[in-house]
Amino acid sequence: MGYSPSPSLLQAAQAGDRAALEELLAEEQARIFRFGMKMCRQQQDAEDILQETMLAASRSIGTFRGESSLSTWLYTIARSFCMKKRRQGKFAPSTFESLEVQAGEVEGVVCRGKTPDEEAQNRELQEVLKDALQSLEPEVREVLVLRDMEGLKASEVAQVLAIGVPAVKSRLHRARKALREALAPILQAPLAERAAICPDVLAGYSQQLEGELSAHVCAEMEKHLESCPTCRATCDSLKQTLALCSAYPDEEVPQAVQESVRIALKGAARRTSNTR
């Protein structure tokens, strides 16, 4: 679900119109800040990633050819700065689109904050999800964040990560299963090994979301779920996990950070003008 700026705005930004450039980048700030927070959790790191991404984008906007969405292009830049942070040791260890899993499917798991107790439970659940995300290895975490939390298509994730779509899907299936396992205690989900006759419903459901299963295989899986309470509960727990991801609260970019980015962009523009 990348942002597609109007051609006239993009052309103006690429022609050196600083106001147009600031408008373009302002549309993307929240996405990049959110990505930084999900990948590293530390606000200072996310602020650094946002500012560095915006500055890099302002310097290279002329190279953007529209072959991907602007969001995808910026995620690619932001990821490079995330990797730099990680190397520095700052990171803590019916279509079938996954974002179409409705939040209502986790009724009884996601609280809507109607009472103080429910609000406290909701905050606790969000912290558990943050910790579970951080428990994933970075290479699978970033796939899950981009696909199931930021809403990029598998092909767009592949562009950001510079890998093939099959590799994206392979990592995504691993990430979904690992996150579900990390959340299993709070979801009260079964962790026991499935019976020998049972299919791998976690892999099957994840593959179904990515359109990788034939109608016949899907029908067979649905038939099995109807007759196997353990597999049905296991599959439901993955649905709940993905619904939690889609309902993950947005990270607001602090006003002070937005102002800092604007000042940095203006400073970069002045330096560029002085060198001409």
From residue 22, give the alpha-carbon distance in Å to each of 5, 44, 51, 125, 266: 12, 22, 13, 36, 9
Q: With beta carbons less than 8 A apart as the criterion, state whether 242 and 148 touch.
A: yes
In a domain, 204, yes or no: yes
**Which three-class secondary structure state does DSSP give residue 29?**
helix
Residues 111 and 209 in one domain: yes
Does residue 64 share a domain with residue 25? Answer: yes
Q: Are residues 264 and 175 in the same domain?
A: no
In the predicted model, is pLDDT for residue 206 greater than 80? Answer: yes
Answer with the residue of higher pLDDT: 6 or 209. Answer: 209
- Mean pLDDT in residue range 53-62: 92
Domain with residue 72: its CATH number is: 1.10.1740.10
Number of structural domains in the chain: 2
Q: Which residue range forms the structural domain that includes residue 38?
A: 7-93+253-274
Does residue 65 share a domain with residue 135? no
Residue 2 maps to a domain = no
Q: Are 125 and 242 in a shared domain?
A: yes
pLDDT tens-digit map of 104-124: 444 444 444 557 776 776 777
171 and 64, same structural domain? no
Name the residue among 137, 121, 107, 112 with its Cα closest to residue 240: 107
Together in a domain, 46 and 182: no
In a domain, 40, yes or no: yes
Cross-strand pairs, 107: 110
Is residue 81 domain-shared with residue 181, that is, in the same domain? no
Q: Does the global pTM surpass 0.75?
A: yes
Quick one: pLDDT band at residue 223, thresholds 50, 70, 90? Answer: very high
Please report, for the domain that includes residue 121, its CATH number. 1.10.10.10
Give the model confidence (pLDDT) of 134-175 as tens digits.
889 999 999 999 999 999 999 999 999 999 999 999 999 999
In this prediction, residue 208 carries a pLDDT of 92
Which pLDDT value is given to residue 94?
35
